[in-house]
């Protein structure tokens, strides 16, 4: 299971290739979140998720806090993502932008997902496919920019990969 140039002194293994892809994924997500997507405002869904996270942290359960009194909230939001936001520190204060802790946590989650995708690719189709899948996920623009938003998709695709890995 060795990839790289023929006769290379230090061959690049699939494990190393996937690890490099994950590191690149983390750096790209952090660079986008902190280098470009700064003070761009939030969507209504993001404000709702953060409101629910603040309510969870303050002990008021799954209810909207005072930050959304003037808005019409979207019905039926699932509790998992606001709980994730609360766990990573997004529920401490009212904010006009996605908190840094959310961007970092979601960048890490995205990087772990690149590893999972690489492992799944190796299991299903071999080391070359696993490494290619990891690099494609690492540089895929939608997967890079989603980590800067407070939206469920940032953790939904990693959770889907984890389920696929566990059931494969």
Q: Report the first-to-last Cα separation within the chain, whole angstroms.
A: 20
CB 65 within 8 A of CB 73: no
Would you write out the chain's pLDDT as a tens digit for each of its 168 residues? 445 555 555 567 889 999 999 999 999 999 999 999 998 889 888 998 999 999 999 998 888 877 665 556 566 677 899 999 999 999 888 888 999 999 999 999 999 999 999 999 999 999 999 999 999 999 999 999 999 999 999 999 999 999 999 997
**DSSP secondary structure string for all residues of 21-72:** HHHHHHHHHHHIIIIISSS----HHHHHHHHHHHHHHTT--SS--GGGTTS-
Q: What is the pTM of this model?
A: 0.86
């Amino acid at each position: 299971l060795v990839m790289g140039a023929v006769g290379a002194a230090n061959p690049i293994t699939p494990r190393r290739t996937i690890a490099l892809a994950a590191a690149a994924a983390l750096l790209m997500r952090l660079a986008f979140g902190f280098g470009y997507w700064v003070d761009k405002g939030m969507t209504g869904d993001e404000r709702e998720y953060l409101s629910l996270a603040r309510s969870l942290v303050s002990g008021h359960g799954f209810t909207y806090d005072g930050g959304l009194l003037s808005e019409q909230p979207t019905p039926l939001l699932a509790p998992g993502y606001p709980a994730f936001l609360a766990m990573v520190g997004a529920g401490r204060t009212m904010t006009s932008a996605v908190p840094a802790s959310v961007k970092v946590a979601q960048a890490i989650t995205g990087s772990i997902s690149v590893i999972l995708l690489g492992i799944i690719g190796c299991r299903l189709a071999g080391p070359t496919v696993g490494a290619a899948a990891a690099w494609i996920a690492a540089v895929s623009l939608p997967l890079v920019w989603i980590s800067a938003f407070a939206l469920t998709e940032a953790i939904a695709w990693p959770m889907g990969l984890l389920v696929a890995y566990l059931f494969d």
